[in-house]
Structure 1
C-alpha cells in the first residue's frame, strides 16, 4: 500500500515534557484545603470542644470568620445564696444569689432556674429567669468574662411551709 504524501497527513502536536511537580503541588493544595473547609463548615460544633476552640479562634482570626460564643452552663458556680421573706411584699420571698463564671472563655448570660422543694425532694415550683429579670435590667455586656461574679435578686411567691429547700441551675 502506498503511503500518503507528507502534506496530506495530519501534523502531530509536539508533546510537551511532563511536569509531575505540578500535579504534586495541586494535590498538596487540595490536601490542605479539604480539612480547612471541613473545619470551617463544622466550626459551630467544633467550637464547643475545649480542645478545638483555641485552634478555631486562631483560624477565624486569620480568615476573618466568626465563632459562636462559648456555652458551658455547668461552669457557673453559686458562691452564695439566701432566701428570706420579702421585706415589703407580704406573701413573697426575696431570693438573692451570687454566681461566678468558672469557664475558660467568656460566655453568654445564662437563664437562672430556681426550684423550691418539699421535704421529700419533690419540686413544688420551678421557674427559669432571663438575665433581664434577675439583674433588674439588660446586661451591660453580652458576655460574662471568666472569673466574673454576678449578684442576682429575684422576687417570688412564697409557697408556704411545704417548701424546705431550693436549688439553682443554669441553662
Structure 2
C-alpha cells in the first residue's frame, strides 16, 4: 500500500503494521511533517506521471463487516450436578486371595504414546521452523548450517530480502550517449549480508535545487536486469554488481537524484 505526504508530496510504501502503530498517523521521512496516511492510502499507484494521490473522502456511515472469520462460542452456565445416592463404600468390595493373583499380568504399553508424542513434537518444530524461516536463514549462526544441510539434501534455501544489508558503493548520472532526451544512471551495489538476497526494487528520484521531487521511477528487477538466470540466482553474499538504468530526461530543473531499495 502507498500513501503521500501532503507537504512535500513524497510517496511512501506502508504496511498494515505501520498503520496500526499510531492509528494511521505517520511522520514524513523527507520533510518531517506529521500527517494522516489513511487519507491518501492506495493499493496501487496511478500511471506515471502523477503529482498527487486521490484523497479518500470519509463516508457518512462506517462500513459494515459481514464476512466473519472467527467468532468465540458463548459461555454457558454449567448444570448443577446431581447428588449421587448414599451407598455403602464396602458393598462391592471383592477380596482376592493372595495366592490367586497373577504376578505376570501384562502391563499397559506406553511406547505407542511416546512415539505419537515424538511425531507431534517434530511436526510442531517443523511448523515453527517454516514460520520463522526468514529469521533462521538470515541468522549468522543458523543460516550456514541450513545452507549446508540443503546442499547435502539437494534442495534450495529460499532467498531472504534485507535491503538494510545492501550497500550503494557508487552512483553516477549522465546524458545518454546514443538516445536523445534520455539519462543514463549507473550504480554499484554490494550485498553485505551473509545470505543470498533477491534483486531489490529500485526507486529513482530526480529533484530540483530545493530538494523537491520532480520525477520518480520505481523499477522491478526484471525491468533493469536482462539475465534471467541471474534474476533467479539472486545476489550472492558479498557480491558486487553494476546496475544501469535508462530514464527519460525531465529537463534542466533536475539537478540531483537519489536511489532507494525496496
Asked if Structure 1 and Structure 2 have the same fold, meaning a TM-score greater than 0.5 normalized by the shorter chain, the answer is yes
- Specify whether residues 134 and 35 from structure 1 end up closer, same or farther in structure 2 by C-alpha distance, changes over 3 A only: same
Structure 2 residue aligned with 1:163 = 254
Tell me whether 24-33 or 77-86 shows the greater mean CA deviation. Answer: 24-33
Q: What SS class does the counterpart of residue 17 from structure 1 fall into? A: coil
CA–CA separation in structure 2 for the residues paired with 1:59 and 1:24: 30
CA distance in structure 1 between the partners assigned to 2:138 and 2:229 by the alignment: 27
**Displacement of 1:122 after TM fit?**
2.4
Alignment-derived partner of residue 138 in structure 1: 227
Q: Secondary structure at the match of 1:128?
A: strand
For structure 1, the residue ranges without an aligned partner over 5 or more in a row are 1-13
Matched, 1:38 2:133: no
What is the TM-score with the length of structure 2 in the denominator? 0.49
With normalisation by structure 1, the TM-score equals 0.70
**Per-residue deviation at 1:157?**
1.3
2: distance between equivalents of 1:161 and 1:152? 24
The separation in 2 between residues aligned to 1:43 and 1:56, in whole angstroms, is: 13
Shift of 1:24: 8.0
More strand by share: 1
Q: Is the 8 A contact 1:44 1:67 kept in 2?
A: no
Q: Looking at both structures, which has the greater relative contact order when contacts are Cα pairs under 8 Å and sequence separation is at least 6?
A: 1
Give unmatched runs, 5+ long, in structure 2: 1-103
The number of residues matched between the two structures is 157
* In the alignment, structure 1 residue 94 sits paired with structure 2 residue 184: yes
Larger deviation: 112-121 or 101-110?
112-121
User: Structure 1 residue 123 and structure 2 residue 123: aligned?
Assistant: no
Task: Let me know the Cα RMSD of the aligned residues.
Answer: 3.3
